[in-house]
Amino acid sequence: MERMKISLGLYLKSAMCTALFRLRGCQTSLIACDGRLPSLSNDGTVRIGKRFVIRGRVAPCEITTHRNAQLLIGDNVFVNQGAVIAAAESIEIGDGSKVGDFSTIIDSNYHDLDPAHPDKPRPVTIGKNVWLGSGVLVLPGSEIGDHTVVAARSVVRGSLPPKVLASGNPAKVVKQLEIPEGWRRG
């Protein structure tokens, strides 16, 4: 009986979450939402693929797109609690990727350094089957190759190649990964 209550709660929360996204102008299929509803602000374009899962048990996620910005999320993407995804220009997250809890993905610094150096948003691209560990920060202009794993608390600035384990601040390649074609992270 308890399991049925949990399943019914997840179903109702997912229906509410999907309605929230659609009412805010997002193009999406059913969203599985476990825990708190995310904070969602959409003044741009948000397209989300099939089987998107967002968890907010401890802290809600925040998803924001600014005017004329786009956020493209592929199929089978999982975003864990407390994650922040904020697009001022363009953020793309590939199929099968996983975003760890309290991670942040931004394509803008949102503030000018000084009058001579205004902030310029730069697109962020995260490949397919990428895993961002807990607390990873992905900075504007970053590109992460397919099947790459970024270790917890790392800061991604620039490009990371496909099929590597990267760690540190800034994140650097520490290991090449042997990933066969077609393999999906569980």
pLDDT at position 75, please? 97
Whether 183 maps to a domain, the answer reads no
Whether 91 maps to a domain, the answer reads yes
Cβ atoms 12, 20 nearer than 8 A: no
Cβ atoms 48, 27 nearer than 8 A: yes
Q: Count structural domains, the chain.
A: 1
Whether 29 maps to a domain, the answer reads yes
Cβ atoms 72, 49 nearer than 8 A: no
Enclosing domain of residue 15: 2-176
6 has pLDDT over 60: no
- The CA distance from 125 to 118, in Å, is 22
Whether 81 maps to a domain, the answer reads yes
Cβ atoms 125, 138 nearer than 8 A: no
Whether 186 maps to a domain, the answer reads no
Whether 111 maps to a domain, the answer reads yes
Nearest partner of 70 among 53, 94, 48, 103, judged by Cα: 48
Q: What is the CATH number of the domain that holds 54?
A: 2.160.10.10
What is the mean predicted confidence (pLDDT) over 143-165? 98
- Active site residues per annotation: 111
62 has pLDDT over 70: yes
